[in-house]
């Protein structure tokens, strides 16, 4: 098992996948990892749509502005914000909190996918309305990310880091 810092350092956005299915039990464990993410008021105002049907993957790749890696992934996990769930406690601010809940879950899924030997990519560029229509999402459930997922065929180099002096401001 990897140490956590090694997972953080090793995870990359993977955009090429083997033509090999991801077992349902592994997908379930990824969703469980997503549910371990923090959430506002512990409401877990997020939903997940697991897409393995080729014609829906193709449609979602079109909604994702024809990103090829979305189309070639054997599975997609669409992570959604459940705005009404969070809004029931937090009013208008609940919309923001549900998005934060969803994005925290995305990061946990990406890290766990890497830890399990899978490749994944967080895709945020897509047509919201078209994605909602394709997935027949109910009112108030907003797609936040399409995670393309599969067994990787590549290993991208790490990006260059940033100097802490450039990004941190200390207030003592």
Domain annotation covers residue 3: no
pLDDT digits (tens, 9 = 90+) for 27-65: 999 999 999 999 999 999 999 999 999 999 999 999 999
Task: Yes or no: say if 102 and 46 are a contact pair by the CB < 8 Å rule.
Answer: yes
pLDDT band, very low/low/confident/very high, at 156 (cuts 50, 70, 90) = confident
CATH number at residue 132: 3.40.109.10
CA distance 107 to 120: 11
Question: Domain range for residue 126?
Answer: 18-152
Contacts for 7 with CB less than 8 Å, ≥ 6 apart? 111, 114, 115
Higher pLDDT, 17 or 10: 17
Where does the pLDDT of residue 8 fall: very low under 50, low under 70, confident under 90, or very high at 90 and above? confident
Chain segment 86-143, per-residue pLDDT in tens:
999 999 999 999 999 999 999 999 999 999 999 999 999 999 999 999 999 999 999 9
Number of folded domains in the chain? Answer: 1
């Amino acid at each position: 098992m990897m140490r956590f810092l090694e997972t953080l350092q090793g995870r990359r956005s993977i955009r090429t996948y083997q033509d090999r299915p991801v077992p349902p039990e592994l997908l379930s464990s990824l969703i469980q990892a997503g549910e371990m993410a923090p959430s506002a008021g512990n409401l877990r105002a997020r939903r997940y749509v697991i897409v393995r049907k080729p014609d829906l993957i193709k449609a979602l790749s079109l909604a994702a502005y024809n990103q090829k890696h979305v189309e070639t992934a054997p599975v997609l996990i669409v992570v959604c914000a459940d705005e009404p769930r969070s809004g029931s406690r937090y009013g208008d601010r609940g919309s923001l909190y549900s998005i934060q809940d969803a994005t925290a879950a995305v990061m946990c899924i990406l890290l766990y996918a890497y830890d399990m030997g899978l490749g994944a990519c967080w895709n945020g560029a897509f047509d919201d309305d078209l994605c909602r229509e394709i997935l027949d999402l109910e009112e108030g459930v907003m797609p936040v990310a399409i995670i393309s997922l599969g067994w990787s065929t590549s290993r991208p180099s790490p990006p260059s880091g940033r100097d802490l002096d450039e990004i941190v401001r200390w207030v003592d």
